[in-house]
Amino acid sequence: MRRLRILLDESVPVQVRKALLDHDVRTAVEMGWRGISNGKLLENAKAAGFDLLIIADKNLRYQQNLAARGIGILELWTNHRPTLERNFDRIRAAVESANIGKYLTLGERP
């Protein structure tokens, strides 16, 4: 398993990092990127060497040209902390299957 550099968007609860202990996980707030636009966040994340951005913003894929960003994006179906904590196994599996430069949506369980 490859160790990834992962950035959690400010809308994603910091507790999600507990699902990703095998990776280097930082938050947008820790990086000093609170409140910046999605485009600037993507630019900063790529420049800082992040492999994957985890978001709970369902509009990002419609707002940005993601193909040219060179960073993987994992969109979560919610930012509700208890729900995410119950699904750490799914989040971990999605991160393991994520590809740099690809957009992956993790939907709610049926």
- Report the pLDDT averaged over residues 5-14: 96
Give the residue from 70, 53, 50 showing the smallest Cα distance to 10: 53
* Contact present, 76 and 56 (Cβ < 8 Å): yes
pLDDT at 38: 82
pLDDT at 66: 55
- The CA-atom distances, in angstroms, between 44 and each of 27, 37, 41, 47 are 12, 10, 5, 5
DSSP state of 91: H
pLDDT at 39: 83
* Contact present, 32 and 6 (Cβ < 8 Å): no
Band of residue 109 on the pLDDT scale cut at 50, 70, 90: confident
Higher pLDDT, 7 or 42: 7
Give me 103's structure tokens.
């957009």
Beginning with the edge strand found earlier in the chain, give each strand of the sheet holding 5-8 in spatial order.
24-27, 5-8, 52-55, 72-76, 103-106
Higher pLDDT, 83 or 38: 83
* Contact present, 53 and 71 (Cβ < 8 Å): yes
pLDDT at 87: 96
Band of residue 52 on the pLDDT scale cut at 50, 70, 90: very high
Could you report the per-residue pLDDT of 53-74, keeping only the tens digit for each? 999 977 666 555 555 567 889 9
Give me 13's structure tokens.
């609860």
Q: Is 2 left (phi over 0), alpha (psi -120 to 50) or beta?
A: beta
